[in-house]
């Protein structure tokens, strides 16, 4: 009686199982890789919308535009102050307020539309009011400094022309003092708005 030996063979099902999932961890590995890639894309997206304050290629032109706009606004304010205080004999407080307004209005449009190159209608709550809070420090400092200078020069008995020159120089000096501080604050204001708008645009694109 002959004995029939059958050659053992590997089950196709077993082979498929071993190749597709040898240890039962292939799918979790792909999930982890996908999560890492997603986090990497999110980090890259966040870094792409950060304010470019430290980028010399963008900072220097922005500083030059801010400087030019500040010079224009300062000339408007200084001219208005000299006319009111020097020629019309208006008090230092009223002269400072009117002169500040004469420079603040063009300064807003020059800084927003030119220095930071923003377009569209400005938001009252997000742009105009924060901007007014930032630059009102110049008004307070100019009003206090010119008043103290005027009182001191009156007691000193100097001539009218000398007093007008020194008080006008004091008014101009307040703008020079707050020049760098205003740039830092405005950069934070408009830079934060840029980041918020970029994130809203990405969220809208993701939903669509």
For each of the chain's 208 residues, which pLDDT tens digit applies? 444 444 544 444 444 444 444 444 444 444 445 544 444 444 443 433 334 455 666 889 999 999 999 999 999 999 999 999 999 999 999 999 999 999 999 999 999 999 998 888 888 888 999 999 999 988 999 999 999 999 999 999 999 999 999 999 999 999 999 999 999 999 988 888 877 777 777 777 766 6
Q: How many structural domains comprise the chain? A: 1
Task: Please list the alpha-helical segments (H only) found in the chain.
Answer: 12-20, 26-48, 56-81, 92-109, 129-156, 160-177, 179-207
Asked if residue 9 belongs to a domain, the reply is: no
| Pairwise CA distance, residues 73 & 71, whole Å | 6
Asked if residue 187 belongs to a domain, the reply is: yes
User: Which structural domain range is residue 191 located in?
Assistant: 58-207
Asked if residue 73 belongs to a domain, the reply is: yes
Asked if residue 8 belongs to a domain, the reply is: no
Asked if residue 34 belongs to a domain, the reply is: no
CA atoms within 13 A on the CB side of 87: 6
Asked if residue 136 belongs to a domain, the reply is: yes
């Amino acid at each position: 009686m002959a004995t029939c030996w059958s050659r053992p063979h590997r089950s196709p099902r077993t082979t498929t199982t071993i190749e597709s999932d040898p240890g039962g961890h292939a799918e979790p590995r792909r999930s982890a890789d996908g999560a890492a890639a997603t986090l990497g894309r999110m980090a890259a997206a966040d870094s792409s919308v950060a304010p470019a304050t430290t980028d010399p290629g963008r900072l220097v032109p922005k500083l030059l535009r801010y400087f030019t706009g500040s010079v224009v606004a300062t000339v408007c304010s200084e001219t208005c102050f000299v006319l009111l205080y020097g020629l019309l004999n208006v008090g230092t407080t009223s002269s400072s307020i009117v002169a500040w307004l004469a420079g603040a209005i063009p300064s807003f449009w020059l800084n927003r539309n030119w220095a930071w190159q923003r377009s569209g209608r400005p938001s009252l709550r997000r742009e105009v009011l924060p901007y007014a809070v930032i630059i009102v420090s110049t008004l307070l400092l100019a009003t206090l400094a010119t008043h103290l200078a005027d009182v001191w020069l009156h007691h000193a008995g100097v001539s009218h022309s000398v007093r007008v020159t020194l008080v006008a120089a004091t008014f101009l000096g307040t703008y020079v003092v707050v020049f760098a501080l205003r740039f830092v604050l405005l950069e934070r204001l408009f830079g934060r708005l840029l980041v918020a708008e970029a994130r809203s645009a990405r969220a809208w694109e993701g939903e669509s």
